[in-house]
């Protein structure tokens, strides 16, 4: 079996991060990507001793970079006494093995960094299952690596140190079996979430999902709109599990809002697949609130990343409301002019100061009304339960009694409740 108890390798303490600029990005974009990798690595509490940008003209199948550049990086890592290299790209299993053989230290690509951050954040059973599934799928083709997944620092079970092809094949079979078990467990989780979702639907409330780039302020917006206390931290992927709260809007309207896991550029495909049960909130919501950070210099790229992930989830055709957060930090007219090129309805808010939140609530109330129907009802005295239901679930516009004691109501009712009022419609 896979040996996970006797690993005595030391924790990574000195990292060198490597960025790559090729024909697909500018020097500024490559530098911004490297800065983001730096933030990702910091989230693993690993000190970074230096960084290096590599200009890649043509990918090399052995190291991705050329042999000369590989030797240069190896020498720099030795001079800095580094015990790990972090690459801001995806390395193939063979490239990782070649790098670790050359440098004699741990070599980690961007995909593995993100999986490790998710692993360190996972708290609920669902998130733990999802992360473990992604981790095992990542590890499968990498069983012959000299070094294993960083999660060993946290007691994880990935990679193998068995000797010989026979041991590797045994480990591969064990991982395949574990993947199968996890997929079955996640199916059960999805069924449970379907039950929860059906319970919500019985309440007949409109539902919006809050999506966007990680650390854009989605949880802060949820708190501002619902007066809740969702976890808010200034770090990437602070929250993995979806959180749903009810927002009370103007004109007696209500809306369910779900905060989802943040997106990130180059999101590992295994994580998208493994987190379907979490991210499907975006595909099933009536509409989306896409949060964009006005304080970020990469706001347009974050928008493109968000659209890309939504497309992969099959949610790119949903109605979208663009919420530009942190307007208290940046009101540059040049930026505002640039943002006009982003298609879609736009609202500017500050979840921190409350600026624009009232306007956003009013717009959400209007959208909820659009998803409802105005009815004229006659409710007899014996059916005051329906009158209470109308006040609880609808927006009563006019109320009066006729000479027979019947209650005459004009009310906006969510389409999910329409049938319950059929016999009372005038």
404-408: list long-range contacts, CB under 8 Å, 24+ apart.
405/380, 405/381, 406/378, 406/379, 406/380, 406/381, 407/377, 407/378, 407/379, 407/380, 407/381, 408/376, 408/377, 408/378, 408/379
Token pair of 6 as six digits = 């006797």
pLDDT of residue 9 exceeding 60: no
pLDDT at 159: 40
pLDDT at 1: 36
Token pair of 368 as six digits = 């909820």
pLDDT at 206: 84
Token pair of 9 as six digits = 């390798």
pLDDT at 47: 92
Number of H helices, E strands in the chain: 13, 13
pLDDT of residue 142 exceeding 50: yes
Residue 214 pairs in a beta bridge with: none
Residue 412 pairs in a beta bridge with: 374, 395
pLDDT of residue 100 exceeding 90: yes
Please report which confidence band the pLDDT of residue 235 belongs to, taking 50, 70 and 90 as the band edges: low
Model pLDDT for residues 181-193, shown as the tens digit of each residue: 999 998 888 788 7
Q: 92 or 193, which is more confident?
A: 92
Mean residue pLDDT of the chain comes to: 83
Domain 15-170 belongs in CATH node 2.60.40.10: no
Mean pLDDT along residues 89-102: 94
Q: 233 or 172, which is more confident?
A: 172
**Domain 371-424 CATH class label:** alpha beta
HSE, side-chain direction, 13 A CA sphere, residue 257: 27
pLDDT of residue 144 exceeding 80: no
Domain residue limits, the chain: 15-170, 206-368, 371-424
Task: Assess whether the region 206-368 and the region 371-424 belong to the same CATH fold.
Answer: no
Q: 231 or 288, which is more confident?
A: 288
Q: 130 or 237, which is more confident?
A: 130
pLDDT of residue 279 exceeding 90: no
Does the pTM of the predicted model rise above 0.75? no
Please report which confidence band the pLDDT of residue 2 belongs to, taking 50, 70 and 90 as the band edges: very low
Domain range 206-368, CATH architecture: 3-Layer(aba) Sandwich (3.40)
- DSSP reduced 3-state for 419: helix
């Amino acid at each position: 079996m896979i040996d996970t108890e006797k690993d005595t390798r030391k924790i990574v303490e000195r990292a060198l991060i490597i960025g790559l600029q090729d024909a697909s990005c500018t020097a500024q974009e490559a530098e911004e990507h490297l800065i983001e990798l730096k933030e990702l690595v910091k989230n693993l509490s690993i000190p970074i001793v230096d960084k290096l940008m590599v200009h890649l003209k043509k990918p090399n199948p052995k190291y991705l970079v050329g042999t000369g550049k590989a030797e240069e990086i190896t020498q720099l890592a030795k001079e800095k006494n580094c015990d790990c290299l972090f690459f801001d790209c995806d390395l193939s299993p063979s490239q990782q093995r070649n790098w670790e053989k050359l440098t004699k230290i741990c070599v980690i690509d961007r995909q593995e960094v993100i999986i490790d951050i998710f692993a360190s954040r996972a708290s609920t059973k669902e998130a733990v299952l999802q992360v473990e599934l992604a981790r095992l799928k990542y590890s499968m083709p990498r069983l012959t690596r000299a070094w294993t997944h960083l999660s060993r620092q946290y007691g994880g079970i990935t990679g193998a140190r068995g000797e010989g092809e026979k041991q590797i094949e045994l480990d591969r079979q064990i991982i395949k079996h574990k993947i199968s078990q996890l997929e079955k467990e996640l199916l059960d989780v999805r069924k449970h979430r379907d039950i929860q979702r059906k319970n919500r639907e019985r309440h007949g409330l409109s539902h919006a999902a809050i999506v966007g780039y990680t650390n854009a302020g989605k949880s802060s917006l949820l708190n501002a709109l619902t007066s809740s206390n969702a976890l808010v931290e200034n770090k990437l992927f602070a929250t993995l599990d979806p959180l749903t709260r009810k927002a009370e809007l103007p004109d007696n309207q209500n809306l369910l809002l779900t905060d989802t896991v943040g997106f990130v550029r180059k999101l590992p495909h295994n994580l998208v697949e493994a987190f379907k049960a979490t991210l499907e909130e975006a595909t099933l919501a009536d509409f989306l609130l896409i949060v964009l950070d006005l304080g970020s210099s990469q706001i347009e790229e974050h928008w493109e990343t968000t659209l890309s992930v939504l497309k992969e989830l099959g949610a790119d055709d949903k109605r979208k409301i663009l919420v530009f957060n942190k307007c208290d930090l940046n009101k540059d007219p040049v930026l505002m002019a640039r943002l006009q090129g982003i298609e879609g309805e736009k609202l500017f808010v500050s979840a921190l100061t409350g600026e624009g939140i009232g306007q956003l609530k009013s717009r959400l109330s209007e959208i909820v009304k659009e998803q409802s129907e105005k009815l004229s009802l006659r409710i007899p005295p014996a059916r005051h339960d329906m009158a209470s239901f109308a006040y609880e679930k609808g927006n009563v516009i006019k109320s009066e009694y006729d000479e027979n004691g019947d209650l005459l109501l004009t009310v906006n009712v969510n389409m999910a409740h329409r049938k319950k009022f059929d016999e009372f419609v005038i």
